[in-house]
Amino acid sequence: MDQSENERRGLGTAFVVFVPHAIQTARAGPFCSTFQYADTNPADFARLPDEASGAAWAFVKAAVSGPNWPHPWARDNLSRWCRGRAHVSLFGTTLRPFLPMVTGLQHITHLRRLGACGVMTSMGKINKAGWRFRHLTLWCLILGGNVAVAAPRRISKDLQQSSEPQLNVIIQYRVPPTRAHFARVMAKGGTLRQNFPAINGGVFTVNRNVVAALSNDPDVAYISLDRTVRATATVTDLYDQAVLAPYAWSKNLSGSGIGVAVIDSGISSGRDFTLSNGTGSRIVYSQDFALGQSTTADLYGHGTHVAGILAGNGMNSHGSAFRKTFMGIAENVNLINLRVLDQNGTGHDSAVIAAIQKAISLKSKYNIRVINLSLGRPVYESYKLDPLCQAVEAAWKAGIVVVVAAGNEGRNDSAHTDGYGTVAAPANDPYAITVGAMKPMGTSTRADDLIASYSSKGPTLFDHIVKPDIVAPGNMVISVLASSNATLVKAAPKNVVALSSYSSNSKGTASYFTLSGTSMATPVVSGAVARLLQKNPSLTPDQVKARLMKSAYKTFPRYSTAKDPTTGKSYTSQYDIFTVGAGYLDIQAALSSVDLAPATLGSAKSPAVARDRSGNVYLVTGSSVLWGGSITWGTSVVWGTSVVWGTSVSGESVLWGSSAPWGSSGDNGFSVLWGTSVVWGTSDQNVTEAIPIEIEGEK
């Protein structure tokens, strides 16, 4: 049968190879020649003998070649032959490979010649052949299917370490899951809470003691906890001037006709979200995904503030009685309110994934072109495995620009990294636009603006992706007040903007509130994206990202210092690529630009970085990535010459010399960033750090 027929049947292509390297043999017999390759089916495997004296044990590695491979028949037959006599270390994990008997291979039909490949763990009783080995290099018996790694590699580390008897887990599959997949979970006592087609998975409640067994399902790609996510605000003014938003207003670009999904703690309706004539509402759809109270209103006080920065029209501060009007960046966008955070500002991965999935399904109905995620959690694994990141990528592939807050851990030096490597998930995903926070410094000019020291810095853990992508005003931002009973408002009543400060009428109810954080910077960028898409509706997510990054303002000081008024501790920020990304959002430059990046999906993926033997950190760009080899979109053009500090001998753009702030290879900070450690510690630590920043901001 040919390969295409294999794929239609869901079968893999079996390779059987046995090649000793530099063997001297007196009497090799039938094992001397290179073994061959077989197109196989269940009947072929069934003919292999259960026992064979003089057998050699071989190591099995599975490689995908059929959409539904490996099938149970392959797994079951291989397990019959497995004797468990050898363990092989693969990528640092001890595996118990499949060890079928080699002597039965002559029974496999359709043999074809194949080149050298393979390893054996033991020669068993073949010593009667009289072989003498100078160098024994054996590759593996390869069966079409997925890499046969041990179950723990399919289970997230935090899930492996959990001691809770009942767990909510997200299971991602290698193929779109069917009822049969879910039935296998339920047969082990699991309960399906929600199906997630967007990530080929679902969220289940299971007993801890069945997780390992579930991971043995060959169709399971990864199992992780349904983790807690949190708002990335901390409890302005002048932020619109800092990014030159008035230019867009002068061009009558207000985001009209664009739908933006705000996935947050809900949006409380009010005058600032009415239509341009002051009637109706631009909150065109609302749905609750959070646990607890069933409402789409904002009980925490975060989502409404975010929505106000993005889309507030200032109706509560407009008119002759007001000295100042607090408007959002794109005051005419339509808002899709998807509530995932409860009254305490916390939620779970599953709620965010469900909300992203809903936004994708509503894309056509409400012209949803942007998703705003002013939330996050610590990074536990590569973005390629993280279900939250996979949901973000599903939205990106659906043509939706996803804008995500970097996080507020830039001061976190618990791992001795000076706050580097603290970008949150899903901000660590290279497809998303990740936003850091700047301080407008109380002036209308951007020339004196500085980075907020709490703004999380890259590179990302595990994948070493350059983040953030861009920075925007996020410190002490004034926006819409959800209600006087919202949790954040009760926690920081002093952050309520006094009516007398912007109105000649001292009687009335205050309508605005001050918060700080990358949560606040994110909707500034989302509003800019909405304006850009109003002007150029055909732009792809990659083209939007590339345009914003290239047109960003790139003039910064080399260093700045901020002092915490409570602790007295000073924090020095360096204006490098991992702190400010490609620069400071410039709406006027983005709207004026005619640069158009290739429309290829993934062309504007944030690049990774690597470290050479000299200690230099440099960009790793592929030929399919926008920043790879184009003069128009080269690294110094997009990120500026101030953050690209030179060129290595091999021609890479060097970002840092050997005196990198995380130290040398012997330092703990080095192993955290370039190893597999987690910077943030526990989620409780994250909470206690973030909330004071949210409320107090940074002077």
pLDDT at 82 over 90: no
pLDDT at 417 over 90: no
- The string of pLDDT tens digits covering residues 377-414 is 999 999 999 999 999 999 999 999 999 999 999 998 88
Share of the chain above pLDDT 90, in %: 48
264 is catalytic: yes
Task: Return the minimum-mean-pLDDT range out of 268-272, 295-299, 593-597.
Answer: 593-597
- The string of pLDDT tens digits covering residues 59-69 is 333 333 333 43
Band of the pLDDT at 535, cuts 50, 70, 90? Answer: very high
Peptide bond into 459 cis (omega under 30): yes
- Are 377 and 424 within 8 A, CB to CB? yes
Provide the CB-side half-sphere exposure for 276 (13 A, CA): 9
Q: Which range among 146-150, 551-555, 603-607 has the greatest average pLDDT?
A: 551-555
Task: Return the minimum-mean-pLDDT range out of 38-47, 238-247, 630-639, 660-669.
Answer: 38-47
The residue annotated as part of the active site, out of 71, 181, 302, 464, is: 302
Longest Cα pair distance anywhere in the chain, in angstroms?
A: 104
Nearest to 596 by CA among 554, 540, 552, 553: 540
Rounded Cα distance between 3 and 622, Å, is: 30
Query: What is the model's pLDDT at position 603?
Result: 79
Q: Write b or e for each residue in 2-39: b if 16 or more Cβ atoms lie within 10 A of its Cβ, otherwise e.
A: eeeebbeeebbbbbbbbbbeebeeeeeeebeeebbbbb
pLDDT at 92 over 50: no
- The string of pLDDT tens digits covering residues 33-56 is 333 333 334 444 343 333 333 333
Residue ranges per structural domain of the chain: 3-144, 151-226, 239-604+681-696
76 is catalytic: no
pLDDT at 6 over 50: no
Kindly report the three-state secondary structure assignment for every residue of 161-201: HCCCCEEEEEEEECCCCCHHHHHHHHCCCCEEEEEEHHHCE
- Are 363 and 398 within 8 A, CB to CB? yes
Query: What is the model's pLDDT at position 258?
Result: 97
Continuous H helices in 85-128: none
Query: What is the model's pLDDT at position 255?
Result: 79
The residue annotated as part of the active site, out of 226, 240, 264, 349, is: 264
Task: Decide if domain 151-226 falls under CATH 3.30.70.80.
Answer: yes
Amino acid identity, residue 31? F
Instruction: Please enumerate in sequence order all residues whose Cβ is within 8 A of that of 221, keeping only pairs 6 or more positions apart, or say none.
Output: 154, 172, 173, 174, 200, 385
Query: What is the model's pLDDT at position 2?
Result: 42
Query: What is the model's pLDDT at position 373?
Result: 98
Query: What is the model's pLDDT at position 639?
Result: 63
Band of the pLDDT at 548, cuts 50, 70, 90? Answer: very high
Strand blocks (E) in 27-154: 36-38, 57-58, 60-63, 88-90, 93-95, 111-113, 120-122, 131-133, 141-144
pLDDT at 90 over 50: no
Provide the CB-side half-sphere exposure for 369 (13 A, CA): 28
226 is catalytic: no
- Are 67 and 7 within 8 A, CB to CB? yes
Mean pLDDT score, 247-272: 85
pTM, rounded to two decimals: 0.74
Query: What is the model's pLDDT at position 37?
Result: 30
According to DSSP, residue 606 is labeled P
More confident: 246 or 534: 534
Mean confidence (pLDDT) of the chain: 74
Query: What is the model's pLDDT at position 30?
Result: 34
Query: Hey, which residues does 112 pair with through a beta bridge?
Result: 37
Q: Write b or e for each residue in 464-498: b if 16 or more Cβ atoms lie within 10 A of its Cβ, otherwise e.
A: bbbbbbbbbbbbbbbbbbbeeebbbbeebeebbbe
Query: What is the model's pLDDT at position 413?
Result: 86
Helices and strands, number each (H, E), in the chain:
20, 34
Band of the pLDDT at 532, cuts 50, 70, 90? Answer: very high
Rounded Cα distance between 297 and 307, Å, is: 12
- What topology does CATH give the domain 239-604+681-696? Rossmann fold (3.40.50)
The residue annotated as part of the active site, out of 215, 265, 519, 526, is: 519
- The string of pLDDT tens digits covering residues 650-684 is 445 555 433 445 444 444 444 555 554 443 333 33
More confident: 442 or 322: 322
More confident: 173 or 318: 173
pLDDT at 342 over 90: yes
- The string of pLDDT tens digits covering residues 549-576 is 999 999 999 899 998 877 888 999 999 8
Task: Return the minimum-mean-pLDDT range out of 33-47, 257-271, 450-464.
Answer: 33-47
Share of the chain above pLDDT 70, in %: 64
Instruction: Please enumerate in sequence order all residues whose Cβ is within 8 A of that of 289, keeping only pairs 6 or more positions apart, or say none.
Output: 338, 339, 340, 347, 351, 352, 354, 355, 358
Mean pLDDT score, 91-115: 31
Kindly report the three-state secondary structure assignment for every residue of 400-426: CEEEEECCCCCCCCCCCCCCCCCCCEC
